[in-house]
């Protein structure tokens, strides 16, 4: 039975990116449902409960369903965003992912102070840091891979965090809007951070089109983007989204400084260097705002959300560590960290 509006066509090409092929039972079911306009097969919800919570199949399926709330896909009816059958499947995938995060982070800090204190001090040992590796010895092909992977978020930078704005009040809302205003270019389209990243991709001879590297992105990368959408699309997880946002802002400036140096050392180009140089100063200011005003204001209004904020921070660190381990292992073996290597520049 078709679920699309009778006034629209599921085969009409729209402005969104193209769909990619599935990587397993669940993601193939989602792709087929989006292409046909039909519901996913019976049993998909049950299959979601058995899926590898960090696996390629689950995270591609979840990413595809989340993307319906952003720009959608070419040829997919916009009405599918609120299709009940897709929402049921998305809920089952989310539950599987969220359950494993809560289990794996059961011993994580429960207070904001304990969660963020380690992030405010530069670690002595940076051997596991991707930005440190890229700064000191990274090669141009590795910078290109890193940018292609990160494009899945940076080409919609700040969009997932914007979901929290209507769920905040007072100090936290005012500060969040101030930070997001900067992220969206402070009124200047050319300075929107997503546009700056597209310019970086052009310098690196990469395709700057939104979503162009989805088919090459492995599950550890998809999970880092999916967790933002998971937290952002659920009002009950607003504290976790604030924790995620704060973690990103607190850790961004030192890493961006190293990446700007890496771009300069490898001759990546002015726009490539500028993207990270812009984040060094901006995110140093944002760090103070997010810690003292966004988190401080939210805790003043809703002190019961402290554990959720700490959980959001811990989940961010956990998933970023998994991604760094995946990329580091691939590069150490002289292999691509993408599912399929990039063509030469």
pLDDT tens for each residue of 124-143 = 456 678 999 999 999 999 99
Q: Indicate if 129 and 185 belong to the same structural domain.
A: yes
User: Taking Cα atoms as reference points, which of 159, 250, 243, 235 lies closest to residue 197?
Assistant: 159
Q: Indicate if 165 and 241 belong to the same structural domain.
A: yes
Residue 300 lies in a domain: yes
**CB neighbour list of residue 75: distance below 8 Å, 6 or more residues apart:** 10, 11, 12, 13, 14, 18, 19, 35
Q: Indicate if 151 and 99 belong to the same structural domain.
A: no
pLDDT at 125: 57
Q: Indicate if 168 and 242 belong to the same structural domain.
A: yes
pLDDT at 126: 64
Q: Which of 62, 81, 104 is the last residue of a domain?
A: 104
What is the full DSSP assignment across 128-148? T-HHHHHHHT--HHHHHHHHH
User: Taking Cα atoms as reference points, which of 251, 344, 325, 338 lies closest to residue 290?
Assistant: 251
Token output for 299: 């805790």
Q: Are the beta carbons of 180 and 158 closer than 8 angstroms?
A: yes
Q: Are the beta carbons of 60 and 27 closer than 8 angstroms?
A: yes
Q: Indicate if 283 and 305 belong to the same structural domain.
A: yes
- Confidence label for 70 from pLDDT (cuts 50, 70 and 90): very high
Q: What confidence tens digit (pLDDT) does each residue in 294-317 have?
A: 999 999 999 999 999 999 999 999
Q: What confidence tens digit (pLDDT) does each residue in 149-184 have?
A: 999 999 999 999 999 999 999 999 999 999 999 999
Q: Which of 80, 104, 128 is the last residue of a domain?
A: 104
Question: SS3 of 2, please?
Answer: strand
pLDDT at 127: 67
Segments forming the whole domain that contains residue 213: 112-332
Report d(CA 276, CA 200) in Å as an integer: 9
Give the other-Cβ count within 10 Å of 182's Cβ. Answer: 17
Q: Indicate if 217 and 182 belong to the same structural domain.
A: yes
Report d(CA 70, CA 185) in Å as an integer: 19
Q: Indicate if 134 and 174 belong to the same structural domain.
A: yes
User: Taking Cα atoms as reference points, which of 264, 332, 240, 323 lies closest to residue 59?
Assistant: 323
Q: Which of 61, 76, 104 is the last residue of a domain?
A: 104
pLDDT at 239 over 80: yes
Q: Indicate if 219 and 314 belong to the same structural domain.
A: yes
Q: Indicate if 123 and 238 belong to the same structural domain.
A: yes
Residue 162 lies in a domain: yes
pTM equals 0.93
Question: SS3 of 38, please?
Answer: strand
Q: Indicate if 180 and 252 belong to the same structural domain.
A: yes
Q: What is the rounded average pLDDT of the residues 234-249?
A: 97
The C-alpha angle with vertex 41 and arms to 78 and 231, in degrees rounded to 5, equals 55
Residue 342 lies in a domain: no
Report d(CA 338, CA 335) in Å as an integer: 9
Q: Indicate if 77 and 152 belong to the same structural domain.
A: no
pLDDT at 104 over 70: yes
Q: Let me know how many helices (H) and strands (E) the chain has, helices first.
A: 15, 0
Token output for 260: 């700007």
Q: Are the beta carbons of 244 and 116 closer than 8 angstroms?
A: no
Residue 282 lies in a domain: yes
Token output for 42: 């019976």
**Across 7-21, 73-87, 114-128, which has the greatest mean pLDDT?**
73-87
Residue 35 lies in a domain: yes
Residue 212 lies in a domain: yes
Q: Indicate if 289 and 155 belong to the same structural domain.
A: yes
**CB neighbour list of residue 344: distance below 8 Å, 6 or more residues apart:** none
Residue 181 lies in a domain: yes
Report d(CA 26, CA 47) in Å as an integer: 7
Residue 8 lies in a domain: no
Element (H, E) at 23: none
**Domain total in the chain:** 2
- CATH code of the domain in which 148 resides: 1.20.910.10
């Amino acid at each position: 039975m078709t679920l699309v509006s009778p006034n629209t066509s599921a085969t009409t090409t729209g402005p969104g990116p193209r769909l990619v092929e599935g990587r397993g039972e669940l993601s193939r079911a989602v792709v087929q449902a989006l292409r046909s306009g039909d519901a996913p097969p019976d049993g998909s919800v049950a299959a979601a409960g058995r899926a590898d919570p960090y696996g390629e199949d689950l995270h591609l399926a979840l990413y595809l369903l989340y993307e319906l709330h952003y720009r959608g896909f070419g040829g997919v009816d916009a009405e599918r965003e609120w299709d009940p059958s897709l929402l049921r499947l998305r809920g089952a995938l989310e539950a599987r992912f969220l359950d494993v995060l809560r289990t794996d982070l059961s011993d994580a800090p429960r207070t904001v102070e304990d969660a963020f204190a380690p992030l405010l001090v530069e670690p002595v040992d940076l051997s596991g840091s991707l930005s440190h590796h890229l700064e000191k010895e990274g090669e141009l092909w590795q910078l290109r891979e890193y940018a292609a992977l990160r494009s899945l978020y940076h080409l919609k930078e700040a969009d997932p965090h914007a979901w929290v704005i209507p769920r905040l009040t007072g100090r936290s809302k005012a500060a969040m809007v101030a930070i997001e205003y900067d992220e969206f270019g402070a009124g200047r389209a050319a300075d929107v951070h997503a546009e700056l990243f597209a310019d970086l991709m052009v310098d690196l001879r990469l395709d700057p089109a939104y979503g162009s590297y989805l088919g090459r992105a492995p599950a550890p990368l998809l999970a880092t983007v999916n967790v933002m959408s998971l937290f952002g699309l659920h009002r009950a997880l607003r504290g976790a989204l604030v924790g995620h946002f704060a973690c990103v802002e607190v850790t961004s400036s030192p890493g961006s400084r190293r990446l700007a140096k890496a771009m300069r050392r490898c001759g990546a180009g002015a726009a490539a260097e500028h993207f990270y140089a812009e984040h060094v100063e901006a995110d140093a200011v944002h760090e103070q705002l997010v810690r003292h005003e966004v988190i401080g204001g939210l805790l003043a209004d809703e002190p019961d959300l402290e554990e959720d904020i700490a959980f959001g921070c811990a989940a961010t660190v956990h998933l970023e560590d998994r991604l760094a381990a995946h990329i580091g292992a691939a590069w150490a073996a002289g292999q691509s960290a993408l599912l399929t290597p990039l063509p030469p520049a």
